[in-house]
Amino acid sequence: MTKRVIVLNFDISSQAYQAFSEIKKLHLSQEIKGEQMAVITHSSEGDHQFKVEDFLDFTGANKTSKGGLIGMLVGVLGGPLGMMLGWFGGSLFGASKDAQELREAHTIFEFVGNKIGEGDTGLILIADEEDNRPLNNIAMYELGGEISRFDLDEVEAEIKKAHEVEAETKENAQKIWEEKHPND
């Protein structure tokens, strides 16, 4: 089994909560081996903030939504780097969410930002699956949503790169500020 980051998105926000409930059942019946799961909302206020609405740590480690991988992913997406690089869809891409634009997304951040547009609610799951049919059945066939899977190691590497870029950007911005304001 390969651990994956699984992104589920739906036309109706309440379906993300229904999926959250149904996925808990899949974990209990051992059809998937969940690690973390969160319902996230992309603000409709134009500020492109992502908020964890509900969170579950299946491992019992009592990680919070902010301390786990999902929290880091959401934090980078809605943070300064996400804002600068425009890793969100919503009004920038219009309501159509063109499939070609989504295929051309180069990072997990771009993909999630496009799939869970302004005002939308989705679900992010970290899990092992021996068989993808139980989760596909719930997400796509029962709830009419979309499901996308990413290799966990690749997502962790993207998060690490994003944190490095944020640190470098902050350092460079501070340096430029000090050069422009030498007497402050």
pLDDT at residue 79, rounded to an integer: 54
How many structural domains is the chain composed of?
1
SS3 4: strand
Chain mean pLDDT for the chain: 76
Q: What is the pLDDT of residue 105?
A: 44
pLDDT, mean of residues 75-85: 53
Task: Name the β-bridge partners of 127.
Answer: 4, 34
Count of residues in the chain: 184
What does the pLDDT read at residue 88? 44
Contact (CB, 8 A) for 30 and 49: no
Query: Which residues form the domain of 67?
Result: 3-180
> Among 19-33, 74-88, 150-164, which is the least confidently predicted range?
74-88
CA 38 to chain centre: 9
Q: What does the pLDDT read at residue 132?
A: 92
pLDDT exceeds 50 at position 182: yes
Quick one: average pLDDT of 161-179? 76
Listed in sequence order, the residues at least 6 apart from 31 whose beta carbon sits closer than 8 Å to its beta carbon are 131, 134, 135
**Coil/strand/helix, residue 105:** coil
Which of 77, 32, 34 shows the shortest CA–CA distance to 56?
34
Q: What is the mean pLDDT of residues 58-70?
A: 66
How far is CA 166 from each of CA 154, 174, 175, rounded to the nearest angstrom? 18, 12, 14
H or E element in which residue 143 lies: none
Dihedral of CA atoms 72, 77, 83, 89 in degrees, nearest 10, equals -170
- For 183, the enclosing helix (H) or strand (E) is none
Q: Would you say residue 83 has pLDDT above 60?
A: no
pLDDT band at 17 (very low <50, low <70, confident <90, very high): very high
11 and 145 in contact (C-beta within 8 Å)? yes
* 20: pLDDT strictly greater than 50: yes
